[in-house]
Structure 1
Protein backbone atom coordinates (compact mmCIF):
# COMPACT_ATOMS: atom_id res chain seq x y z
CA UNK A 1 0.00 0.00 0.00
CA UNK A 2 1.28 3.45 -0.93
CA UNK A 3 1.84 5.85 1.96
CA UNK A 4 2.89 9.48 2.22
CA UNK A 5 5.08 9.31 5.32
CA UNK A 6 8.23 7.18 5.34
CA UNK A 7 10.45 6.23 8.23
CA UNK A 8 14.05 7.43 8.21
CA UNK A 9 15.28 3.99 7.17
CA UNK A 10 12.73 3.79 4.36
CA UNK A 11 13.68 7.18 2.95
CA UNK A 12 17.39 6.36 3.27
CA UNK A 13 16.87 3.09 1.41
CA UNK A 14 14.96 4.79 -1.39
CA UNK A 15 17.75 7.33 -1.95
CA UNK A 16 20.56 4.84 -1.30
CA UNK A 17 22.09 6.85 1.50
CA UNK A 18 22.49 6.09 5.21
CA UNK A 19 20.03 6.96 7.95
CA UNK A 20 22.90 8.73 9.74
CA UNK A 21 23.29 11.02 6.72
CA UNK A 22 19.64 12.03 7.08
CA UNK A 23 20.10 12.64 10.81
CA UNK A 24 23.12 14.84 10.04
CA UNK A 25 21.15 16.81 7.44
CA UNK A 26 18.45 17.36 10.06
CA UNK A 27 20.95 18.51 12.70
CA UNK A 28 22.48 21.16 10.41
CA UNK A 29 19.11 22.33 9.12
CA UNK A 30 19.67 21.23 5.53
CA UNK A 31 16.90 18.64 5.17
CA UNK A 32 14.32 18.42 7.95
CA UNK A 33 11.82 15.58 8.35
CA UNK A 34 8.19 16.33 7.55
CA UNK A 35 7.07 15.01 10.94
CA UNK A 36 8.67 14.00 14.24
CA UNK A 37 6.65 11.78 16.56
CA UNK A 38 6.40 13.75 19.87
CA UNK A 39 6.31 10.55 21.91
CA UNK A 40 9.11 8.55 20.32
CA UNK A 41 11.16 11.25 18.57
CA UNK A 42 11.14 9.14 15.42
CA UNK A 43 11.64 11.09 12.18
CA UNK A 44 9.26 10.66 9.26
CA UNK A 45 9.70 12.02 5.76
CA UNK A 46 7.09 12.80 3.13
CA UNK A 47 7.37 11.04 -0.20
CA UNK A 48 7.06 14.51 -1.68
CA UNK A 49 10.48 15.34 -0.16
CA UNK A 50 12.08 12.65 -2.29
CA UNK A 51 13.02 15.04 -5.11
CA UNK A 52 14.56 17.59 -2.74
CA UNK A 53 16.75 14.87 -1.26
CA UNK A 54 17.65 13.83 -4.79
CA UNK A 55 18.72 17.40 -5.57
CA UNK A 56 20.95 17.42 -2.50
CA UNK A 57 22.50 14.12 -3.52
CA UNK A 58 23.21 15.34 -7.07
CA UNK A 59 24.69 18.63 -5.84
CA UNK A 60 27.02 16.61 -3.62
CA UNK A 61 28.02 14.56 -6.66
CA UNK A 62 29.09 17.66 -8.58
CA UNK A 63 31.26 18.78 -5.70
CA UNK A 64 29.16 21.19 -3.64
CA UNK A 65 29.72 21.18 0.09
CA UNK A 66 26.80 21.21 2.52
CA UNK A 67 26.96 24.96 3.16
CA UNK A 68 26.84 25.65 -0.59
CA UNK A 69 23.86 23.32 -0.96
CA UNK A 70 22.11 25.00 1.93
CA UNK A 71 22.54 28.37 0.23
CA UNK A 72 21.44 26.92 -3.10
CA UNK A 73 18.18 25.59 -1.64
CA UNK A 74 17.35 28.87 0.13
CA UNK A 75 14.94 31.13 -1.78
CA UNK A 76 15.71 29.53 -5.11
CA UNK A 77 15.02 31.18 -8.42
CA UNK A 78 16.20 30.51 -11.97
CA UNK A 79 18.80 33.28 -12.09
CA UNK A 80 20.35 32.38 -8.73
CA UNK A 81 20.46 28.68 -9.55
CA UNK A 82 22.05 29.36 -12.93
CA UNK A 83 24.81 31.52 -11.42
CA UNK A 84 25.66 28.89 -8.82
CA UNK A 85 25.69 26.04 -11.34
CA UNK A 86 27.82 28.02 -13.81
CA UNK A 87 30.36 28.75 -11.08
CA UNK A 88 30.48 25.08 -10.08
CA UNK A 89 30.77 24.07 -13.73
CA UNK A 90 33.88 26.21 -14.18
CA UNK A 91 35.43 24.59 -11.11
CA UNK A 92 34.61 21.13 -12.44
CA UNK A 93 36.16 21.99 -15.82
CA UNK A 94 39.34 23.11 -14.08
CA UNK A 95 39.42 19.94 -11.97
CA UNK A 96 38.89 17.78 -15.06
CA UNK A 97 41.82 19.49 -16.81
CA UNK A 98 44.02 18.92 -13.76
CA UNK A 99 43.05 15.24 -13.68
CA UNK A 100 43.76 14.87 -17.41
CA UNK A 101 47.19 16.47 -16.92
CA UNK A 102 47.85 14.23 -13.92
CA UNK A 103 46.83 11.11 -15.86
CA UNK A 104 49.15 12.11 -18.69
CA UNK A 105 52.02 12.66 -16.24
CA UNK A 106 51.46 9.31 -14.50
CA UNK A 107 51.24 7.46 -17.82
CA UNK A 108 54.52 9.05 -18.90
CA UNK A 109 56.14 7.93 -15.65
CA UNK A 110 54.88 4.36 -16.05
CA UNK A 111 56.16 4.15 -19.64
CA UNK A 112 59.55 5.52 -18.63
CA UNK A 113 59.77 3.21 -15.62
CA UNK A 114 58.98 0.16 -17.78
CA UNK A 115 61.61 1.29 -20.29
CA UNK A 116 64.26 1.75 -17.62
CA UNK A 117 63.40 -1.53 -15.91
CA UNK A 118 63.61 -3.41 -19.20
CA UNK A 119 66.85 -1.84 -20.42
CA UNK A 120 68.64 -1.38 -17.11
CA UNK A 121 72.27 -0.36 -17.47
CA UNK A 122 72.61 -1.05 -21.17
CA UNK A 123 76.09 -2.16 -22.27
CA UNK A 124 78.26 0.41 -23.96
CA UNK A 125 77.40 3.74 -25.48
CA UNK A 126 74.28 4.41 -27.54
CA UNK A 127 73.31 7.21 -29.92
CA UNK A 128 69.73 8.42 -29.64
CA UNK A 129 67.74 11.14 -31.36
CA UNK A 130 65.69 13.32 -29.03
CA UNK A 131 62.95 15.73 -30.06
CA UNK A 132 62.95 19.38 -29.00
CA UNK A 133 62.85 19.64 -25.21
CA UNK A 134 62.13 22.43 -22.76
CA UNK A 135 63.84 22.70 -19.38
CA UNK A 136 63.42 25.16 -16.55
CA UNK A 137 66.15 26.21 -14.17
CA UNK A 138 66.93 28.76 -11.48
CA UNK A 139 70.45 29.04 -12.96
CA UNK A 140 71.90 28.09 -9.60
CA UNK A 141 75.17 26.18 -9.59
CA UNK A 142 75.30 23.12 -7.33
CA UNK A 143 78.23 20.97 -6.28
CA UNK A 144 77.02 18.85 -3.34
CA UNK A 145 73.97 17.04 -1.97
CA UNK A 146 72.93 19.92 0.31
CA UNK A 147 72.78 22.38 -2.58
CA UNK A 148 71.02 19.72 -4.66
CA UNK A 149 68.26 19.29 -2.04
CA UNK A 150 67.50 23.00 -1.88
CA UNK A 151 67.72 23.26 -5.66
CA UNK A 152 65.12 20.52 -6.15
CA UNK A 153 62.73 22.44 -3.88
CA UNK A 154 63.17 25.55 -6.04
CA UNK A 155 62.59 23.60 -9.23
CA UNK A 156 59.47 21.86 -7.90
CA UNK A 157 57.97 25.20 -6.88
CA UNK A 158 58.51 26.50 -10.42
CA UNK A 159 56.89 23.57 -12.22
CA UNK A 160 53.25 23.82 -13.28
CA UNK A 161 52.52 20.10 -13.71
CA UNK A 162 51.05 17.75 -11.14
CA UNK A 163 53.58 15.44 -9.45
CA UNK A 164 56.21 16.35 -12.05
CA UNK A 165 59.34 14.69 -10.68
CA UNK A 166 58.48 11.41 -8.95
CA UNK A 167 59.45 8.33 -11.00
CA UNK A 168 60.30 10.40 -14.06
CA UNK A 169 63.24 11.20 -16.34
CA UNK A 170 62.88 14.95 -15.93
CA UNK A 171 65.28 16.10 -13.24
CA UNK A 172 68.94 16.49 -14.02
CA UNK A 173 71.95 18.77 -14.29
CA UNK A 174 73.51 20.67 -17.15
CA UNK A 175 77.20 20.02 -17.82
CA UNK A 176 78.83 22.94 -19.63
CA UNK A 177 80.40 22.24 -23.01
CA UNK A 178 83.57 24.06 -21.91
CA UNK A 179 83.90 21.79 -18.87
CA UNK A 180 83.58 18.72 -21.09
CA UNK A 181 86.27 19.94 -23.50
CA UNK A 182 88.63 20.84 -20.64
CA UNK A 183 87.83 17.60 -18.75
CA UNK A 184 86.72 19.62 -15.75
CA UNK A 185 84.17 16.97 -14.84
CA UNK A 186 83.77 17.85 -11.16
CA UNK A 187 82.90 21.52 -11.65
CA UNK A 188 79.59 22.88 -10.27
CA UNK A 189 76.61 22.18 -12.51
CA UNK A 190 73.21 23.75 -13.12
CA UNK A 191 70.09 21.95 -11.92
CA UNK A 192 67.38 21.64 -14.58
CA UNK A 193 64.01 19.92 -15.03
CA UNK A 194 62.24 19.02 -18.27
CA UNK A 195 58.78 20.50 -18.52
CA UNK A 196 55.80 20.63 -20.85
CA UNK A 197 54.60 24.03 -19.65
CA UNK A 198 56.49 27.33 -19.58
CA UNK A 199 53.51 29.70 -19.46
CA UNK A 200 54.26 32.60 -17.09
CA UNK A 201 57.84 31.34 -16.65
CA UNK A 202 60.38 34.14 -17.25
CA UNK A 203 62.51 33.48 -20.33
CA UNK A 204 65.72 33.62 -18.28
CA UNK A 205 64.60 30.45 -16.50
CA UNK A 206 63.85 28.51 -19.71
CA UNK A 207 66.40 26.33 -21.55
CA UNK A 208 65.54 25.02 -25.00
CA UNK A 209 67.38 21.90 -26.10
CA UNK A 210 66.88 21.44 -29.85
CA UNK A 211 66.18 18.16 -31.59
CA UNK A 212 69.29 16.20 -32.46
CA UNK A 213 71.55 13.23 -31.92
CA UNK A 214 72.98 12.56 -28.47
CA UNK A 215 75.70 10.16 -27.38
CA UNK A 216 74.31 8.52 -24.25
CA UNK A 217 75.57 6.36 -21.40
CA UNK A 218 73.80 5.21 -18.25
CA UNK A 219 75.55 4.69 -14.96
CA UNK A 220 74.65 3.75 -11.38
CA UNK A 221 75.77 5.72 -8.36
CA UNK A 222 75.62 9.25 -7.00
CA UNK A 223 75.01 12.20 -9.28
CA UNK A 224 78.61 13.33 -8.78
CA UNK A 225 80.08 9.93 -9.77
CA UNK A 226 80.30 10.83 -13.43
CA UNK A 227 84.01 11.13 -14.23
CA UNK A 228 84.40 7.59 -15.56
CA UNK A 229 81.25 7.83 -17.68
CA UNK A 230 82.18 11.24 -19.08
CA UNK A 231 85.66 9.98 -19.90
CA UNK A 232 84.16 7.06 -21.83
CA UNK A 233 81.80 9.35 -23.71
CA UNK A 234 84.43 11.93 -24.65
CA UNK A 235 86.80 9.17 -25.79
CA UNK A 236 84.01 7.74 -27.96
CA UNK A 237 83.25 11.16 -29.44
CA UNK A 238 86.88 11.77 -30.39
CA UNK A 239 87.38 8.26 -31.74
CA UNK A 240 84.36 8.49 -34.05
CA UNK A 241 85.10 12.04 -35.19
CA UNK A 242 82.05 13.66 -33.65
CA UNK A 243 81.75 17.30 -32.62
CA UNK A 244 79.99 18.61 -29.52
CA UNK A 245 77.14 20.97 -30.37
CA UNK A 246 76.16 22.13 -26.90
CA UNK A 247 75.97 21.39 -23.20
CA UNK A 248 75.45 17.86 -21.93
CA UNK A 249 72.57 16.66 -19.78
CA UNK A 250 72.80 14.24 -16.89
CA UNK A 251 69.23 13.04 -16.35
CA UNK A 252 67.89 11.04 -13.41
CA UNK A 253 66.39 7.70 -14.45
CA UNK A 254 66.02 6.02 -11.04
CA UNK A 255 66.26 7.91 -7.75
CA UNK A 256 65.03 7.84 -4.14
CA UNK A 257 61.47 8.61 -5.27
CA UNK A 258 61.16 4.97 -6.41
CA UNK A 259 63.89 3.14 -4.49
CA UNK A 260 65.69 3.42 -1.17
CA UNK A 261 68.58 1.28 -2.41
CA UNK A 262 71.54 3.60 -3.16
CA UNK A 263 73.02 1.10 -5.63
CA UNK A 264 69.84 1.30 -7.74
CA UNK A 265 70.17 5.06 -8.37
CA UNK A 266 70.83 5.54 -12.07
CA UNK A 267 71.51 8.46 -14.40
CA UNK A 268 71.85 8.90 -18.14
CA UNK A 269 74.38 11.32 -19.58
CA UNK A 270 73.38 12.78 -22.95
CA UNK A 271 75.89 14.74 -25.03
CA UNK A 272 74.68 16.48 -28.25
CA UNK A 273 76.85 15.70 -31.28
CA UNK A 274 77.19 16.02 -35.04
CA UNK A 275 79.68 14.52 -37.46
CA UNK A 276 82.70 16.70 -38.31
Structure 2
Protein backbone atom coordinates (compact mmCIF):
# COMPACT_ATOMS: atom_id res chain seq x y z
CA UNK A 1 0.00 0.00 0.00
CA UNK A 2 1.37 3.43 -0.93
CA UNK A 3 2.00 6.16 1.63
CA UNK A 4 -0.57 8.94 1.89
CA UNK A 5 1.80 11.68 0.72
CA UNK A 6 2.64 9.84 -2.51
CA UNK A 7 1.02 10.70 -5.83
CA UNK A 8 0.20 8.31 -8.64
CA UNK A 9 1.21 9.01 -12.22
CA UNK A 10 -2.36 10.05 -12.99
CA UNK A 11 -2.49 12.43 -10.04
CA UNK A 12 0.82 14.18 -10.75
CA UNK A 13 -0.11 14.32 -14.44
CA UNK A 14 -3.28 16.18 -13.53
CA UNK A 15 -1.57 18.54 -11.08
CA UNK A 16 1.33 19.39 -13.42
CA UNK A 17 -0.62 19.24 -16.68
CA UNK A 18 1.76 16.64 -18.13
CA UNK A 19 0.89 13.41 -19.91
CA UNK A 20 1.96 10.05 -18.54
CA UNK A 21 3.97 9.62 -21.76
CA UNK A 22 6.08 12.70 -20.91
CA UNK A 23 6.57 11.47 -17.34
CA UNK A 24 7.75 8.09 -18.64
CA UNK A 25 10.21 9.88 -20.94
CA UNK A 26 11.53 11.99 -18.06
CA UNK A 27 11.98 8.81 -16.04
CA UNK A 28 13.77 7.08 -18.94
CA UNK A 29 16.34 9.88 -19.36
CA UNK A 30 16.81 10.21 -15.58
CA UNK A 31 15.49 13.75 -15.50
CA UNK A 32 12.53 13.24 -13.18
CA UNK A 33 12.09 9.86 -11.54
CA UNK A 34 9.43 8.45 -9.20
CA UNK A 35 10.49 7.91 -5.61
CA UNK A 36 8.89 4.49 -5.48
CA UNK A 37 7.84 1.78 -7.93
CA UNK A 38 5.63 -1.03 -6.64
CA UNK A 39 7.39 -4.30 -7.60
CA UNK A 40 4.08 -6.16 -7.64
CA UNK A 41 1.99 -3.79 -9.75
CA UNK A 42 4.65 -1.73 -11.56
CA UNK A 43 2.86 1.45 -10.47
CA UNK A 44 5.09 4.49 -9.97
CA UNK A 45 4.66 7.03 -7.21
CA UNK A 46 5.94 10.56 -6.63
CA UNK A 47 6.32 12.75 -3.56
CA UNK A 48 4.14 15.84 -3.36
CA UNK A 49 7.20 18.12 -3.15
CA UNK A 50 8.37 16.82 -6.52
CA UNK A 51 5.73 19.06 -8.07
CA UNK A 52 8.19 21.93 -7.52
CA UNK A 53 10.81 20.12 -9.62
CA UNK A 54 8.31 19.74 -12.46
CA UNK A 55 7.52 23.46 -12.19
CA UNK A 56 11.22 24.26 -12.52
CA UNK A 57 11.58 21.93 -15.52
CA UNK A 58 8.65 23.58 -17.26
CA UNK A 59 9.97 27.05 -16.46
CA UNK A 60 13.43 26.26 -17.86
CA UNK A 61 11.89 24.71 -20.98
CA UNK A 62 9.87 27.89 -21.56
CA UNK A 63 13.07 29.99 -21.77
CA UNK A 64 14.78 27.68 -24.22
CA UNK A 65 16.72 25.13 -22.19
CA UNK A 66 16.90 21.62 -23.60
CA UNK A 67 16.11 18.62 -21.41
CA UNK A 68 19.82 17.72 -21.31
CA UNK A 69 20.66 21.24 -20.14
CA UNK A 70 17.88 21.13 -17.54
CA UNK A 71 19.25 17.83 -16.27
CA UNK A 72 22.65 19.47 -15.69
CA UNK A 73 21.01 22.36 -13.84
CA UNK A 74 19.06 20.01 -11.55
CA UNK A 75 22.25 18.09 -10.78
CA UNK A 76 23.99 21.23 -9.58
CA UNK A 77 23.19 22.86 -6.26
CA UNK A 78 25.59 25.78 -6.74
CA UNK A 79 23.69 28.97 -7.57
CA UNK A 80 26.81 30.31 -9.32
CA UNK A 81 27.05 27.32 -11.67
CA UNK A 82 23.34 27.63 -12.49
CA UNK A 83 23.82 31.37 -13.08
CA UNK A 84 26.66 30.62 -15.54
CA UNK A 85 24.45 28.18 -17.43
CA UNK A 86 21.78 30.86 -17.66
CA UNK A 87 24.32 33.39 -18.96
CA UNK A 88 25.43 30.90 -21.60
CA UNK A 89 21.84 30.30 -22.68
CA UNK A 90 21.21 34.06 -22.84
CA UNK A 91 24.22 34.44 -25.16
CA UNK A 92 22.92 31.64 -27.41
CA UNK A 93 19.47 33.25 -27.58
CA UNK A 94 21.01 36.65 -28.44
CA UNK A 95 22.89 35.09 -31.34
CA UNK A 96 19.73 33.36 -32.55
CA UNK A 97 17.78 36.63 -32.37
CA UNK A 98 20.47 38.31 -34.48
CA UNK A 99 20.30 35.46 -37.01
CA UNK A 100 16.51 35.78 -37.23
CA UNK A 101 16.76 39.56 -37.63
CA UNK A 102 19.07 39.06 -40.61
CA UNK A 103 16.63 36.56 -42.09
CA UNK A 104 13.77 39.04 -41.58
CA UNK A 105 15.77 41.79 -43.31
CA UNK A 106 16.61 39.45 -46.21
CA UNK A 107 12.92 38.55 -46.60
CA UNK A 108 11.92 42.21 -46.63
CA UNK A 109 14.38 42.88 -49.46
CA UNK A 110 13.10 39.88 -51.42
CA UNK A 111 9.49 41.02 -50.99
CA UNK A 112 10.53 44.47 -52.25
CA UNK A 113 12.31 42.88 -55.23
CA UNK A 114 9.28 40.72 -56.12
CA UNK A 115 7.03 43.79 -55.92
CA UNK A 116 9.37 45.61 -58.29
CA UNK A 117 9.35 42.69 -60.74
CA UNK A 118 5.56 42.46 -60.60
CA UNK A 119 5.17 46.20 -61.23
CA UNK A 120 7.58 46.22 -64.18
CA UNK A 121 6.00 43.14 -65.76
CA UNK A 122 2.56 44.77 -65.63
CA UNK A 123 3.62 48.23 -66.79
CA UNK A 124 6.64 47.83 -69.06
CA UNK A 125 6.57 45.26 -71.85
CA UNK A 126 8.27 47.03 -74.75
CA UNK A 127 11.84 48.34 -74.61
CA UNK A 128 12.20 49.11 -78.31
CA UNK A 129 12.87 52.71 -77.26
CA UNK A 130 15.01 52.50 -74.13
CA UNK A 131 14.39 54.99 -71.35
CA UNK A 132 17.77 56.21 -70.13
CA UNK A 133 17.94 58.03 -66.81
CA UNK A 134 20.49 59.35 -64.35
CA UNK A 135 20.37 57.83 -60.86
CA UNK A 136 22.18 58.57 -57.62
CA UNK A 137 23.12 55.24 -56.03
CA UNK A 138 24.29 54.72 -52.44
CA UNK A 139 27.37 52.69 -51.61
CA UNK A 140 26.71 48.99 -52.15
CA UNK A 141 28.42 46.00 -50.62
CA UNK A 142 28.74 42.85 -52.72
CA UNK A 143 30.07 39.31 -52.46
CA UNK A 144 31.82 38.63 -55.74
CA UNK A 145 34.19 36.50 -57.80
CA UNK A 146 36.26 38.14 -60.56
CA UNK A 147 37.77 36.01 -63.32
CA UNK A 148 38.85 36.28 -66.93
CA UNK A 149 36.82 33.72 -68.86
CA UNK A 150 34.18 33.28 -71.54
CA UNK A 151 30.83 34.84 -70.78
CA UNK A 152 27.88 32.58 -71.56
CA UNK A 153 24.92 30.91 -69.86
CA UNK A 154 26.86 27.96 -68.40
CA UNK A 155 29.69 30.09 -67.02
CA UNK A 156 27.17 32.44 -65.36
CA UNK A 157 25.27 29.51 -63.81
CA UNK A 158 28.53 28.07 -62.41
CA UNK A 159 29.56 31.44 -60.97
CA UNK A 160 26.18 31.88 -59.31
CA UNK A 161 26.64 28.57 -57.52
CA UNK A 162 30.20 29.53 -56.55
CA UNK A 163 28.86 32.73 -54.99
CA UNK A 164 26.26 30.71 -53.07
CA UNK A 165 28.89 28.28 -51.78
CA UNK A 166 31.10 31.21 -50.75
CA UNK A 167 28.19 32.73 -48.83
CA UNK A 168 27.34 29.42 -47.15
CA UNK A 169 30.92 28.67 -46.10
CA UNK A 170 31.33 32.15 -44.58
CA UNK A 171 27.82 32.38 -43.03
CA UNK A 172 26.95 35.42 -45.14
CA UNK A 173 23.33 36.26 -46.00
CA UNK A 174 22.82 37.02 -49.69
CA UNK A 175 20.29 39.82 -49.85
CA UNK A 176 19.86 41.42 -53.23
CA UNK A 177 19.75 40.39 -56.86
CA UNK A 178 22.79 39.04 -58.69
CA UNK A 179 24.88 41.36 -60.79
CA UNK A 180 27.75 41.24 -63.25
CA UNK A 181 30.45 43.89 -63.58
CA UNK A 182 32.13 43.95 -66.99
CA UNK A 183 35.69 45.16 -66.44
CA UNK A 184 36.30 44.94 -70.19
CA UNK A 185 34.64 44.01 -73.52
CA UNK A 186 30.97 44.49 -72.64
CA UNK A 187 29.95 44.22 -76.28
CA UNK A 188 32.06 41.17 -77.10
CA UNK A 189 32.72 39.21 -73.90
CA UNK A 190 34.04 35.96 -75.41
CA UNK A 191 37.13 35.98 -73.20
CA UNK A 192 36.91 38.88 -70.83
CA UNK A 193 37.40 39.96 -67.24
CA UNK A 194 34.00 39.96 -65.54
CA UNK A 195 32.87 39.87 -61.94
CA UNK A 196 29.87 37.90 -60.73
CA UNK A 197 28.40 39.22 -57.52
CA UNK A 198 25.40 39.58 -55.27
CA UNK A 199 24.27 42.46 -53.10
CA UNK A 200 24.74 42.12 -49.34
CA UNK A 201 23.26 43.99 -46.42
CA UNK A 202 25.13 47.18 -45.54
CA UNK A 203 25.08 45.82 -41.98
CA UNK A 204 27.26 42.88 -43.01
CA UNK A 205 30.37 43.17 -40.83
CA UNK A 206 32.55 40.49 -42.38
CA UNK A 207 35.36 41.56 -44.68
CA UNK A 208 37.61 39.42 -46.84
CA UNK A 209 38.89 39.53 -50.41
CA UNK A 210 35.57 38.49 -51.98
CA UNK A 211 33.60 41.28 -50.33
CA UNK A 212 33.84 44.40 -52.46
CA UNK A 213 32.33 47.88 -52.41
CA UNK A 214 30.59 49.60 -55.30
CA UNK A 215 31.13 53.28 -54.53
CA UNK A 216 28.21 55.65 -54.28
CA UNK A 217 27.69 58.11 -57.10
CA UNK A 218 25.86 58.87 -60.32
CA UNK A 219 24.88 56.05 -62.66
CA UNK A 220 23.29 56.21 -66.08
CA UNK A 221 20.65 53.48 -66.09
CA UNK A 222 18.20 51.65 -68.34
CA UNK A 223 16.16 48.44 -68.36
CA UNK A 224 15.84 45.72 -70.98
CA UNK A 225 14.30 42.27 -71.43
CA UNK A 226 16.36 39.30 -72.62
CA UNK A 227 19.86 37.86 -72.85
CA UNK A 228 23.20 39.65 -73.24
CA UNK A 229 22.80 40.06 -76.98
CA UNK A 230 19.56 41.94 -76.34
CA UNK A 231 21.44 44.39 -74.09
CA UNK A 232 23.79 45.70 -76.77
CA UNK A 233 21.33 48.16 -78.33
CA UNK A 234 20.47 49.54 -74.90
CA UNK A 235 24.16 49.79 -73.99
CA UNK A 236 24.97 51.76 -77.15
CA UNK A 237 22.07 54.14 -76.56
CA UNK A 238 23.35 54.73 -73.02
CA UNK A 239 26.82 55.62 -74.32
CA UNK A 240 25.24 58.07 -76.77
CA UNK A 241 23.21 59.62 -73.93
CA UNK A 242 26.38 60.00 -71.83
CA UNK A 243 28.19 61.80 -74.64
CA UNK A 244 25.22 63.97 -75.62
CA UNK A 245 24.59 65.11 -72.03
CA UNK A 246 28.26 65.88 -71.30
CA UNK A 247 29.06 63.10 -68.89
CA UNK A 248 31.95 60.65 -68.93
CA UNK A 249 32.25 57.05 -67.80
CA UNK A 250 34.31 56.56 -64.65
CA UNK A 251 33.95 52.83 -64.10
CA UNK A 252 32.85 49.46 -65.43
CA UNK A 253 29.25 48.88 -66.57
CA UNK A 254 27.06 46.76 -64.29
CA UNK A 255 24.20 44.45 -65.18
CA UNK A 256 21.74 44.00 -62.32
CA UNK A 257 19.48 40.96 -62.80
CA UNK A 258 16.13 42.12 -61.42
CA UNK A 259 14.37 39.04 -62.78
CA UNK A 260 16.91 36.26 -63.18
CA UNK A 261 16.71 32.72 -64.53
CA UNK A 262 15.62 31.63 -61.05
CA UNK A 263 12.18 33.05 -61.95
CA UNK A 264 11.88 32.18 -65.63
CA UNK A 265 12.66 29.26 -67.94
CA UNK A 266 13.70 31.46 -70.86
CA UNK A 267 16.50 34.01 -71.08
CA UNK A 268 14.13 36.09 -73.25
CA UNK A 269 12.18 36.87 -70.07
CA UNK A 270 15.16 38.14 -68.07
CA UNK A 271 14.64 41.65 -66.74
CA UNK A 272 17.96 43.43 -66.39
CA UNK A 273 19.10 46.93 -65.44
CA UNK A 274 22.34 48.27 -66.93
CA UNK A 275 24.17 50.83 -64.81
CA UNK A 276 27.20 52.85 -65.90
CA UNK A 277 29.02 55.04 -63.35
CA UNK A 278 29.54 58.58 -64.64
CA UNK A 279 30.54 62.11 -63.71
CA UNK A 280 29.75 65.48 -65.26
CA UNK A 281 32.41 66.85 -67.56
Q: Which runs of 5+ in 2 are unaligned?
A: none
How far apart, CA to CA, are the structure 1 residues paired with 2:27 and 2:228? 60
Aligned to 1:246: 251
Aligned to 2:207: 201
Tell me the SS of whatever aligns to 2:146: coil
Q: How many residues align?
A: 266
Pair 1:91-2:82 in alignment: no
**2:265 equivalent among 261, 264, 267:** 261
Q: CA deviation at 1:30?
A: 1.0
Q: CA deviation at 1:102?
A: 1.4
Tell me the SS of whatever aligns to 1:272: strand
Q: CA deviation at 1:39?
A: 4.2
Tell me the alpha carbon deviations over residues 127-168 of structure 1, each in whole angstroms, 9 at most, x when there is no partner: 322111122323223523333333223323443566425xx3
Structure 1 residues 254 and 221: alpha-carbon distance in aligned structure 2, compared to 1, 3 A threshold:
same
Structure 1 residues 190 and 136: alpha-carbon distance in aligned structure 2, compared to 1, 3 A threshold:
same
Pair 1:137-2:147 in alignment: no
Q: In the TM superposition, what are the counterparts of 1:41-120 in structure 2 within 5 Å?
A: 41-120=42-121
Tell me the SS of whatever aligns to 1:87: helix
Q: Which runs of 5+ in 1 are unaligned?
A: none
TM-score normalised by structure 2 residue count: 0.80
Tell me the alpha carbon deviations over residues 109-142 of structure 1, each in whole angstroms, 9 at most, x when there is no partner: 2122212322337452333221111223232235
Aligned to 1:152: 160
154-163 vs 213-222, which moves further: 154-163
Tell me the alpha carbon deviations over residues 164-203 of structure 1, each in whole angstroms, 9 at most, x when there is no partner: 25xx32x211012x535xx44555321122223564533x
Tell me the alpha carbon deviations over residues 44-88 of structure 1, each in whole angstroms, 9 at most, x when there is no partner: 433422221122223333333322222221132112111211111
Q: Runs of 4 or more off by more than 6 Å in structure 1?
A: none
How far apart, CA to CA, are the structure 1 residues paired with 2:239 and 2:31? 72
Pair 1:32-2:52 in alignment: no
